Amino acid sequence: MTSSLTDLRPPPTLPPIPSPQASKRPSTTGYWVAAIVAALGLMAAFLWGAVGINTTQDRLDGFARLTVPGATTVSVTDPGTMVAYHESAAEVAGYADPTANARYATRWDPGTRTIITVPAAVDPPTWQQLGLQVTGPGGAAVPVVTYRSSARYDLEPSRAGRAVATFQATTAGPYRVSTARATEAGATLAVGQDIARSLVLTRLGAVILGLVTVLVAVPLAVVTYQARSRTHS
């Protein structure tokens, strides 16, 4: 009985069939979506804060300023509440060295490139101590009251201020603001609208947007990881 070479060949083998679990394993799309959400959300929060701070900085730069003691004219085009902010070296030092004692603090002077000692900013002077007076467009005295909350800023090097007084500009026009006494050499008074609300909204909005971004991106990545782990086991 004869045999051929064809009879001696082994039967052809078929490729392995993938298991149903392996074919249904979720993709990594969830990771990519979480990464994109995190990147875009955190970038938007950062830009929100940066734009808000720059806007507030522009408003501060536009405030009318006078050396204490001294006087200036504030042109009011949008009647409303006006705030007087006391700017001084002590305010700057209070930010630069918040652990300083109640009397003195240190700060870097870029002009002389040395560290100087100045009185620490514990409490800003009151408008009564400054002898602050405001005269309206018609020549009548405008009542001045103490700023009831706490508002301060430190948005650029060597400039920091605290709100000390407020007055109501009921009509548009020039308002004469004057101070009679100085409690610290080199201090200035900045007069403009209240910036506390814009600063709070800027910081709060940026923080909330950042938190929402994290609360969306992290659970999405965790859910994707858990789904892939279950199908892999």
The pLDDT tens digits of the residues spanning 57-72 come to 888 888 999 999 999 9
In this prediction, residue 104 carries a pLDDT of: 46
- Average pLDDT of the chain, as a whole number: 79
119, 104 contact by CB (below 8 A): yes
Query: So what's the pLDDT on residue 232?
Result: 59
Q: How many angstroms separate the Cα of 74 from the Cα of each of 18, 87, 142, 150, 232?
A: 80, 17, 13, 23, 71
In this prediction the pTM is 0.63
Range with lowest mean pLDDT among 3-7, 191-195, 206-210:
3-7
Q: Each residue of 130-167: pLDDT tens digit?
A: 999 999 998 999 999 999 887 888 766 667 888 999 99
Q: How confident is the model over 168-195, as pLDDT tens digits?
A: 999 999 999 999 998 888 899 999 988 8
pLDDT in tens, 64-108: 999 999 999 999 999 999 999 999 877 665 544 444 444 444 444
pLDDT for position 65: 93
* Bond from prior residue into 69 cis (ω within 30 degrees of 0): yes
pLDDT at 226: 85
Q: Per-residue confidence at 206, pLDDT binned at 50, 70, 90? A: confident
**pLDDT for the residue 204:** 85
* β pairing state of 141-142 and 188-193: unpaired
Tens of pLDDT, residue by residue over 15-70, are 666 555 555 667 788 889 889 988 998 899 888 888 887 887 888 888 999 999 99
pLDDT at 31: 86
What pLDDT was estimated at residue 169?
A: 95
In the structure, what pLDDT confidence band is assigned to residue 198 with cuts at 50, 70 and 90?
confident
Domains belonging to the chain, first-starting first, are 64-194 (2.60.120)
CB neighbour class for 129 (10 Å; exposed up to 12, middle 13-18, buried from 19): middle
